[in-house]
Amino acid sequence: MLYEYLIFLKWWVYLLIIGLIFLPLASRIFSKFFDKGYLYSKVLGLAIPSFILWLLSSLRLVPFERGWIIVIILVLLAVIFVFDKGYPNFKQALIENWKIFILEELIFLISLAFWVFVRGLRPEIKDLEKFMDFGFMNSILRTKFMPPTDMWFAGEEVNYYYYGHYLAAFLTKLVNLKPAVGYNLMISTIFAFTLSLTFSLTANLVSFIKIQNFKKIILAGLISAMLISFASNFHTFAYGVFLPAAKKTGLLKGEIKPYYYPEATRFIGYNPPTNDKTIHEFPSYSFVVADLHGHVSNIPFIITFLAILFTLLTRQENKEKILSLGHFLLALMLAIFYMTNIWDFPIYLLVTLLFILYQKIYLKSAKKIILAIVFDFLKLVILTMTLLLPFNLHFQNMTQGIGLVMSRTPIWQIFILWGNLLIFAVMFLIFYIVKIRKDKLKNPSDIFVLIIIFSSFFLLAVPEIIYFKDIYDRNFYRANTMFKFTYQAYIMLTMATGYICLRLGDIKTKMRWALWPIFFILIILPLLYPFYSIPRYYRGLKISKFRTLDGMAYLSKDSPGDHAAIEWLTRLKDQPVILEADGESYTSYDRVSMATGLPTVLGWRVHEWLWRGNYPDLEARQREVKTIYEKGDTKASQEILQKYKVKYIILGDLERKKYQLDEEKLLSLGTVVLDSSQTKIIEVRT
């Protein structure tokens, strides 16, 4: 455990240094924030250098190597402190705000340490879609120039939104760690960012309503931070507490199954069973299962994006340099959204449009308003798409059009899933309508919360009207649309909740003391979730059960032959093509390509079908892999190996399980370079 502690400390120190380097930049952008954007400096310190290196690598000017990461960060350090004279007000900001800097760093560090501990209880990179995420990450780590090679479709580049995996590879390469350790540290870092950045944004929202009590500002930040990081919805209380209690007291008859935490994300279409099965996840579930998906990797950048929008909203004075920098960072974040999880791109373009609409609404001429809105919006879109050119040159869109939904969610299920957040939102809207009539309120925090509330309402409504077509069948036709839209609605509404509590709780009326018991119930019930999810997935939270941060260590016991093969292949410096048994999605097949980043002829078939949309090509490759492993014409096998430039053939338990192996033929195709625990690596004879 001492070794893992030192690795964790090393990782945190790198994040701390990156944040300190970019703190002068953050303190200028977020100069009106009480914390001067301290935590956002870490996100900017990841976003800017990683994008520059990605861009240079995509243009084949600079390879994706650790040395170049360090060079780019040092150059940016020079730009910040030399070209712009170190930001004259930075020293003063340090002197005046060091206490809040330390507080926020402690919040980040404690949350990071906590989730590192949690992941160390069950660090395995297996189950669900971890093979996919880790495979992308490993392929990127082996890649010199972007885009990376598809580890499950030899000869082709990744046709997926890989930037979140690139960020994990970027940090892992910078800190110089094993990929399997970097994976678990990255998911822990995203958790820590989600909690701490939400704390900062919500607390800053409250600070703009001139609440003098600093404890209330901290409380608001903590409410939103805890909800977004740990909470679920009313499902946990309804099915984990209320129904079992009703059964126990005799109020309810029939069987009540033990509560299973994933059911809070698979409710519509499952309970009761219907032909309209959907997905409605939330960050807490994502952190527990630890799949390094794009919608998870994007969260820190989404919160930073919203913080930049808010800080621009607070600036009434005309400081063109700050406004231009802010708009550029918005475009950069939108580009990252697009390459990480494209669903977030149109969502936050819409949010931005609402902000632009509000900012321009005070111009006197209606014609000027329209022109100003169109100009600012098009300028942002054009800049974003320019930044995205290298990505789009290699990417084929997977969208198959839009359709009208054939089913809708019952109101009672909507209440179970989003009721607590919607109650807060509706209460705030009522408060605002009443307040605006009396005071014509124009507080930037209120405007910000109104915009994200209306954006969230829209996102919750979209899957009830239209859906985006993909390969999934009729029973799951709107699952992806529901998933990606409501996930962002959940994020925005939870960020607003802490602010709403303090905003409404600060009203000087007789009803104020009646509000807090309601708030308490609405907050506590969703926070029951981690008491079910974390112990179930991680089998308790005992320090003595901490194992390792190495997500691939389990293979040394479960499959020592495969582990030895992976270790041998990992030492190769280039990215040769390998051949292993292909398998269905969510299985243990294609484990070698996943763990090494070396491309195999065909990997998880349904996933490749989703990414490429050409099923006949997948079937053809599947037949060719089978031809090589089973009895048949040796010459035909050699031709297929040459076609895909295969250098190594894997022969292990999964290959023996799937095929009627002709081991004699396989051995005739090359030389055995590794033979360990029934697993062989055959180097193909050229």
pLDDT tens for 394-404 read 888 767 788 89
Q: What is the mean pLDDT of the chain?
A: 90
Q: According to the model, what pLDDT value does residue 606 have? A: 87
Contact 654, 583 (CB under 8 A): yes
Contact 362, 337 (CB under 8 A): no
**pLDDT tens readout for residues 7-27:** 999 999 999 999 999 998 998
Q: Is the pLDDT of residue 317 over 60?
A: no
The residues that bridge with 404 in the sheet, in sequence order, are 466
Please give the full DSSP string across 67-122, using - where no structure is assigned: HHHHHHHHHHHHIIIIITTT-TTHHHHHHHHHHHHHHHHHHHHHHHHHHHHHHHHS
**Token pair listed for 297:** 């990797």
> What whole-number distance in Å separates Cα of residue 115 and Cα of residue 438?
47
Instruction: Work out whether the CA dihedral 212, 216, 222, 224 comes out positive or negative.
Output: negative
Contact 45, 150 (CB under 8 A): no
45 SS3 class:
helix
Instruction: Please return the burial class of 443, using the count of CB atoms within 10 Å of its CB with bins 0-12, 13-18 and 19+.
Output: middle
Could you tell me the pLDDT band of residue 322, with boundaries at 50, 70 and 90? Answer: low
Instruction: Please return the burial class of 89, using the count of CB atoms within 10 Å of its CB with bins 0-12, 13-18 and 19+.
Output: middle
> What whole-number distance in Å separates Cα of residue 106 and Cα of residue 541?
22
Residue with the larger pLDDT of the pair 444 and 188: 188
| Cis status, amide bond into 258, omega within 30 of 0 | no
Q: According to the model, what pLDDT value does residue 35 have? A: 92
> What whole-number distance in Å separates Cα of residue 145 and Cα of residue 63?
6
**Token pair listed for 465:** 């009207």
**Token pair listed for 190:** 């995203």
Percentage of the chain with pLDDT > 90?
A: 70
Q: Is the pLDDT of residue 438 over 70?
A: no
Q: According to the model, what pLDDT value does residue 510 have? A: 65
Q: Is the pLDDT of residue 441 over 60?
A: no
> What whole-number distance in Å separates Cα of residue 484 and Cα of residue 314?
29
169 SS3 class:
helix
Q: According to the model, what pLDDT value does residue 321 have? A: 63
Of the candidate ranges 71-80, 366-375, 432-441, 581-590, the one whose mean pLDDT is the lowest: 432-441
Burial pattern 177-207, b for ≥16 Cβ within 10 A else e, equals: bebbbbbbbbbbbbbbbbbbbbbbbbbbbbb
Q: According to the model, what pLDDT value does residue 319 have? A: 57
Could you tell me the pLDDT band of residue 248, with boundaries at 50, 70 and 90? Answer: confident
Of the candidate ranges 119-128, 262-271, 300-309, 358-367, the one whose mean pLDDT is the lowest: 358-367
> What whole-number distance in Å separates Cα of residue 151 and Cα of residue 139?
6
**pLDDT tens readout for residues 352-376:** 999 988 877 765 556 677 777 888 8
Residue 76 Cα distances to 52, 81, 321, angstroms = 10, 9, 18
Sheet strand arrangement including 577-579 = 577-579, 646-651, 679-684, 670-676
Q: Give the residue from 586, 604, 596 showing the smallest Cα distance to 552.
A: 596
Model pTM?
Answer: 0.94
Of the candidate ranges 56-70, 71-85, 190-204, the one whose mean pLDDT is the lowest: 71-85
User: What average pLDDT score do residues 675-682 get?
Assistant: 91
Q: According to the model, what pLDDT value does residue 88 have? A: 56
Contact 125, 131 (CB under 8 A): yes
> What whole-number distance in Å separates Cα of residue 408 and Cα of residue 463?
8
> What whole-number distance in Å separates Cα of residue 467 and Cα of residue 78?
48
A 10 A CB-CB count for 427 gives 18
680 SS3 class:
strand
| Cis status, amide bond into 262, omega within 30 of 0 | no
Of the candidate ranges 158-167, 451-460, 541-550, the one whose mean pLDDT is the lowest: 541-550
> What whole-number distance in Å separates Cα of residue 601 and Cα of residue 582?
8
Residue 379 Cα distances to 304, 316, 363, 389, 587, angstroms = 20, 20, 19, 16, 45
- Looking at 139-193, which runs of residues are DSSP E strands? none
Q: Give the residue from 22, 21, 17, 23 showing the smallest Cα distance to 35.
A: 23
Q: Is the pLDDT of residue 587 over 70?
A: yes
Could you tell me the pLDDT band of residue 87, with boundaries at 50, 70 and 90? Answer: low
CA-angle at 20, arms to 19 and 21, nearest 5°: 90
**Domains detected in the chain:** 2-234+280-535 (no CATH), 555-684 (3.40.50)
A 10 A CB-CB count for 110 gives 13
Listed in sequence order, the residues at least 6 apart from 635 whose beta carbon sits closer than 8 Å to its beta carbon are none
**pLDDT tens readout for residues 445-456:** 999 999 999 999
Please state whether beta strands 646-651 and 577-579 pair in parallel, antiparallel, or not at all (unpaired).
parallel
| Cα dihedral: 238, 242, 247, 249 (round 10) | -170
Residue with tokens 């001492």: 2
Could you tell me the pLDDT band of residue 622, with boundaries at 50, 70 and 90? Answer: very high
Contact 97, 38 (CB under 8 A): yes
Contact 685, 670 (CB under 8 A): yes
Q: According to the model, what pLDDT value does residue 536 have? A: 93
Contacts 24+ apart (CB under 8 A), 248-256: none
Residue with tokens 């996100």: 43
**Token pair listed for 262:** 């994933």
Residue with tokens 């243990």: 588
